[in-house]
Amino acid sequence: FFNYQQQKKALEMASMKMLRPKVLPKVLSQANTAGVKTTLLINSEGSLLAYAGADIGNDAVAAIVSNIWSSTEDNDQLEFIIMECEQGKVVVTKVSEVLLCLIGSEIAEFGMLKAK
């Protein structure tokens, strides 16, 4: 049976780990220089968490990239996926529990994308 004081203490100790959804795009947009068109943050289920830059059908991109990542993920040590496409380049990496995906135009170079 909790008394009021114990209750209050327990409640204060419980931590809520949350995202600031308005700040996310601003943070992601820092990567959108030198040929980077769009930066995406994708959750483990393939849903778009946030993006900065052009909308190139980002919902679909998120789902596809997530799918590619999970089917390649047999090897635990997977760090990056790099893809060259007709209209640009894609670099994907895992950050904490989510995927970070940078989409660069033709002029962007892989080295730079990876570094970002």
Partner 1 sequence: KKKVLLMGRRAAGKTSMRSIIFANYIARDTAALSPTIDVESSQLRFLGNLTLNLWDCGAQDAFVDNYLNNQREHIFSNVSVLIFVFDVESRDVQKDIQYFSAAMKAMQQYSSSARVFCLIHKMDLVPEEAGERLFKAREAELSRIALPMKVTCFKTSIWDETLYLAWSSIVYSLIPNVSMLEKQLDRFCQVCEADEVVLFERATFLVISHASTTDHEDVHRFEKISNIIKQFKLSCSKGIAQFQSMEVRNSQFTAFIDLLTSNTYVMVIMSDPTIQASAININIKAARKFFEMFFQQVPT
Spatial CB neighbours of 106, under 8 Å, sequence gap ≥ 6:
87, 88, 89
- Measured in degrees and rounded to the nearest 5, phi and psi for residue 85 equal -115, 175
As beta bridge partners, residue 36 has 104
Residue 7 or 114 having the CB closest to partner 1: 7
96 binds partner 1 (CB under 8 A): no
Could you identify the residue written with the tokens 């909308």?
55
Residue selected from 30, 33, 47, 72 as contacting partner 1 according to rule CB under 8 A: 47
Piece of the chain touching partner 1 by CB under 8 A; list 13-21, 29-37, 78-86, 87-95: 13-21
Please report, as ranges, the residues that interact with partner 1 according to CB under 8 A.
1-2, 7-8, 10-11, 14, 16-25, 43, 45, 47-51
